[in-house]
Amino acid sequence: MLRKLLPPCLLFGAFACAQQPGHPPGINFAPPSPDDPATPPPAPLAAPDPTLAPLTSAERRQIIDSVATRLKSSYVLPEMAHQLVAFLQARQQLGDYDGINDGATLAVRLTSDLQAVSRDRHLRIEFAATTLPPEEGGPTAEEDQQYRQDLARTNCGFQRVKILPGNIGYIQFNYFGSADLCGPTVATAIKSIAHTDAVIFDVRQNLGGDPAMVALLASYLFDRPVHLDDLYNRRENKTTQYWATPEKVTDRLSTQPVYVLTSRMSFSGAEQFCYDLHNLRRATLIGERTGGAAHPTRNHRINDHFLIAMPEYRYINAVTRTDWEGEGIEPDVPATPWNAVVTAEKMALTRIHRTSAEPLPTTSAAMLSGPLTR
């Protein structure tokens, strides 16, 4: 079974993340846009797999036709779906894909073309050398166990929880895991900084995840229920609301000033977290403009070796009634990834009236504000 609502897809990360080595396990993350000069270029393609038979013209046509059919039925923006289909059909008629006989190469080319037109970094075609599992049906017991093990192995994305000088809490987490399974991890992290006077959340390397986890984490930051977002599913014509529900959590941080560190690698669910808190005036964003991906996906099987990560959803923020797709989120305080932590510390110390003429301890600056892993 393909676990469909993504990015938090841990079951099949081997092929879902194959083009992005080095990313935290379980994140279904779209490659950087080749048209964005601020992002590094994607890794070079691997050599074609000699053990797989070359694609025939009939197979290539079936793949492209199936992509077009899926786009028309499910892509979250119907007008854009028609543009994408017309573009693919025009490229196909011109013979642009005729010389591509390798599956991985075709997947990358189709992804590049689709993203060039749509500017949607969630939309992509994936290729797997091994046979993909069936799309329908629930996960097997073995798959579910592997999913839980992957969450546990990566600590649900939580990397660092610390108390910085001046009694400032700091939490770095690199994805939003399942709210049902990762709730205790969040509670433990929050409890360890509940006594602090200000809080810094570091999502500079956070690639997204479960929107329910975004709502759960936001619940710790309010003293009353707050409507955060609606998530609209075009294929099912269904809308799901997400609320901060502080009455369901303990050790709340509803009075502390909150700072969120961002970068151009902050993506999808991380942007939802930033966008919600920013528009509710609950947090100060420090860092770089975020990636600009607001259309969560489902994986759909095209054939035994190809799937399409289809953006079927779009966020409707409760304040702005729109989202951040293609634009990203501009920080309140611009800062490079290398000095964002120090900037946040200084702002927090000023806010809690603990400004000091002495320099910040080197442990804080050296340990937390070094270059990000790209």
Domain range for residue 16?
5-127
- The residue out of 91, 109, 127 marking a domain boundary is 127
Q: Is residue 135 domain-resident?
A: no
The tokens for 207 are 């690639």
Kindly state the helix (H) or strand (E) to which residue 67 belongs, with its residue range.
helix 57-74
Indicate the burial class of 293 (C-beta count within 10 angstroms; 0-12, 13-18, 19 or more).
buried
Contact 221, 277 (CB under 8 A): yes
Residue 319's domain is classified under what CATH number? 3.90.226.10
- CA 235 vs CA 70, 86, 126, 151: distances in Å: 10, 20, 21, 29
Q: Is 345 helix (H, G, I), strand (E, B) or coil?
A: helix
Q: Do residue 231 and residue 348 come from a single domain?
A: yes
Ramachandran category for residue 369: left, alpha or beta (phi over 0 → left; psi -120 to 50 → alpha):
alpha
- The residue out of 107, 127, 147 marking a domain boundary is 127
Q: Is residue 36 domain-resident?
A: yes
Q: pLDDT tens string for the chain (374 positions)?
A: 444 443 333 333 323 332 232 332 222 333 333 333 333 334 344 455 556 789 999 999 999 999 999 999 999 999 999 999 999 999 999 999 999 999 999 999 999 999 999 999 899 999 999 999 888 767 788 889 999 999 999 999 999 999 999 999 999 999 999 999 999 999 999 999 999 999 999 999 999 999 999 999 999 999 999 999 999 999 999 999 999 999 999 999 999 999 999 999 999 999 999 999 999 999 999 999 999 999 999 999 999 999 999 999 999 999 999 999 999 999 999 999 889 999 999 999 999 875 444 455 544 554 554 444 43
CA distance 161 to 155: 12
Q: How many domains does the chain have?
A: 2
Q: How many Cβ atoms from other residues are within 10 Å of residue 41's Cβ?
A: 10
Q: Do residue 267 and residue 335 come from a single domain?
A: yes
